[in-house]
Each structure stands twice: as C-alpha cells, then as structure tokens.
Amino acid sequence: MQSHLIILAAIFAQSVEPAETSLEGLWRNPSGSVIISISPCDESICGRVQWASEKAMADARKGGTDPLVGTEVLSDITPRGEGRWKARLFVPDLNKTSKAELRILEIGQLKVTGCLVGHVVCKSQIWRRAAAE
C-alpha cells in the first residue's frame, strides 16, 4: 500500500508544472504601453523595447530618447539568487539610468524596482509576460 502512495506521489509531482523562473522572454509594463524583450546580449542578458504605444514613444521623445523601439532599458543583468537579478534600468522619458532589482513573483509576473538618488527615490512596477506579437 505504501509503495502505491509513493508511485502516485511521483506521478503527481511530474504532472505539476514548475514555476517559471526564467527572465528571458517578452514582458509588458502595467499600462500595456511598452513590451520589453529580455534576451542574451554580449556577455550578459539585457532588455530592449520591442514595441511601444504612440504615447510612450511621444513621452520618450520629450525626455530625449528617440527612437524608443530598440532602446536598451535593462543592462548588466546579473543573478542574485533564485528568481532575482540586479541590473541597470534606463528610464527613457526621464533620460536617467538607475540601479534596479528584478524579481519573479509568480508565474508570469516580474517585479521591477528602480531607485534614483541612492535608495531614497524608488519605484516598483509589476510587469507581466506578453505573448509574441
């Protein structure tokens, strides 16, 4: 009887999908105005704007970034533990770069936290996985 339970537990464990902990792929910001593609770049991985709404492109232009599509907004991404990375974050509409922390919260959610002026002024967003468009 006990061996049957072990076999059932093993079958059940194989049927449960593991949490998605890969950073690579497409990510959409909370307002849906930008899609970032995170993929290998040179020695590391980076994130580039793959798609942006007209408003996002106009805001970036006002901040001094034109064109927005193709701009590297995440660079120097390095692991910091299971489902966590540190990076440099470029904010196109402010034309500023800051330190950032990236953390997988659950399947399909990435928390992106960037801090300007040391760690005094910080902002976080929850990005969601996006389908290829």
Looking at the domain assignment, is residue 27 inside a domain?
Answer: yes
Q: What is the DSSP string of 57-98?
A: HHHHHHHT----TT-EEEEEEEEEETTEEEEEEEETTTTEEE
Looking at the domain assignment, is residue 116 inside a domain?
Answer: yes
Residue-range definition of the domain harbouring residue 73: 19-129
Q: How many domains does the chain have?
A: 1
Calculate mean pLDDT across residues 89-94: 94
User: Which has the higher per-residue pLDDT, 131 or 99?
Assistant: 99
Confidence of residue 20 (pLDDT cuts 50, 70, 90): low
Calculate mean pLDDT across residues 75-103: 94
**CATH code where residue 93 lies:** 2.40.128.520
Looking at the domain assignment, is residue 96 inside a domain?
Answer: yes
Query: pLDDT tens across 35-56, in order?
Result: 999 999 988 899 999 999 999 9
Looking at the domain assignment, is residue 6 inside a domain?
Answer: no
Looking at the domain assignment, is residue 3 inside a domain?
Answer: no
User: Which has the higher per-residue pLDDT, 10 or 132?
Assistant: 132
Looking at the domain assignment, is residue 112 inside a domain?
Answer: yes
Query: What pLDDT does 22 receive?
Result: 87
